[in-house]
Amino acid sequence: MHRRREHAHGAASIDYYACQSGIRHWNGCYKICFLLWALILCLILDSPGVSGFTVLIMGLLNLRGNGINFERYLQLLKIPAAFLILGSAAVILGISKEPAGDWCVSMHWFWLYVTKEGLNHALELFLKAMGAVSAMYVLALSTPASELATVLQNMHVPKLLTELMYMIYRFIFILTEVHRAMKTAAVSRLGDVDLKTSCAVFGQIGGNLLILSLKRANTYYDAMVSRCYAGEFPFWEEEKPVQIWQVLAAFVYTAVLALLRLAEEMI
């Protein structure tokens, strides 16, 4: 399969990765079910071993299956990791009027302290959340929005919602594209020469963005109507049967997690 690494920004790049993913041909429903199952297991089994294993396997799926390179994957993980670290800090740190816990620092008016227990707890929480996040990354990086919409439709989610979801998704692309073009044009005329100009340009682009993207959305709509679009979005669904080995793999995965959990309890 053809792959191009260097690529765009934000939502567009995630979509791009999804389209060129090596496991895109896996059945969409299977992917959603398996990854949700992995996420639920990671949350309810509640053990660092299980969480670590989930992070590892999902990481492998992202790197080998979805074909994301390692640096890019780390970049993608940085965003949720930043939130998690801030969140964990709140769990780890305690405040008291006198020295307490296993380690403590005086802050003149009060003491900041950390207990071993709290540290362990925060680490477990962090791992658990990373496991869940990486499972969802596998889904996002391997399944384009249209496919997600099809699967949801097959699960009898109302058509109105799935179609709306897809249209909004497409519209985000129109917005970002138009925005990028305008920003480039502004920068090429020194629109970012100092902070004041940058701010003014930002405002102007915002104002024009609405008009321009509406215009483009109109053209899009005309193009759809010209191909007999009649208010109903029929998604073309490729037939992707679930492979037996995939089902087996899901079982093996579950079994390994269960064993890990048991082993932990015995120790």
Partner 1 sequence: MKNEILSVKNVTYEYQPGHPALDQISLSIGRGEKIAVMGSNGAGKSTFFLNLNGVLHPQKGEIYYQGKQVGKKDVKELRRRVGFVFQDADNQMIAATVEAEIAFGPMNLKLPREEVKERVEQALDYMDLQKYRKRPPHYLSGGEKKRVSIADIIAMKSEVILFDEPTAALDPLSADMLEKVLADLYREGKTLLISTHDVDFAYRWADRIVVFDQGKILADGGVREVFLQQRLLEQAHLKKPVLLAVYEILQRQGVIRAGSYPRTVDELAENMGGTIDE
Rounded to whole angstroms, how far apart are CA atoms 72 and 14? 11
Kindly tell me which of 125 and 149 has the beta carbon lying closer to partner 1: 149
Residue 112, H or E segment: strand 111-114
Helix, strand or coil, per DSSP, at residue 111: strand
Which is closer to partner 1, CB of 13 or CB of 115? 13
Asked whether 23 and 68 are in contact (CB, 8 A), the reply is no
Q: How far is the CB of 150 from partner 1 (least distance, A)?
A: 10
Binding mask 13-52 for partner 1 (x = CB under 8 A): --xx--xx---x----------------------------
Residue type at 258 in one-letter notation: A
CA distance 174 to 191: 22
Helices 28-45 and 116-140, interaxial angle, to 10°? 180
* Gap between the Cα atoms of 235 and 120, Å rounded: 47
CB closer to partner 1 out of 193 and 224: 224
Contact characters 225-254, partner 1, x per CB under 8 A: xxxxxx---xxx-x----------------
The residue (of 69 and 197) whose beta carbon lies closer to partner 1 is 69
Please state at what angle helix 244-266 crosses helix 28-45, rounded to 10 degrees.
0
Q: Which listed residue (47, 54, 146, 162) binds partner 1 by CB under 8 A?
A: 146
Specify which residues 106 forms β-bridges with: 111
Question: If DSSP codes are grouped into helix, strand and coil, which group holds residue 239?
Answer: coil
Q: Which of 42, 127, 140, 145 binds partner 1 (CB under 8 A)?
A: 145
Residue with tokens 């003014």: 200
Torsion of CA 171, 176, 179, 180, to 10 degrees: -150
**By rule CB under 8 A, what string of x and - marks binding of each residue 149-188 to partner 1?**
---------------------x--x---x-----------
Cα separation of 38 and 247, whole Å? 13
Nearer to partner 1 among residue 87 and residue 234 (C-beta): 234
Kindly determine how many residues on this chain lie close enough to bind partner 1 according to the rule CB under 8 A.
Answer: 31
Q: Which is nearer to partner 1, 66 or 147 (CB)?
A: 147
Of 36, 56, 187, 223, which one interacts with partner 1 (CB under 8 A)? 223
Which CB atom, from 5 or from 116, has the smaller least distance to partner 1? Answer: 5
Residue 102 near partner 1 by CB under 8 A: no
The binding site for partner 1 (CB under 8 A) comprises: 1-2, 4, 15-16, 19-20, 24, 144-147, 170, 173, 177, 216, 219-220, 222-230, 234-236, 238
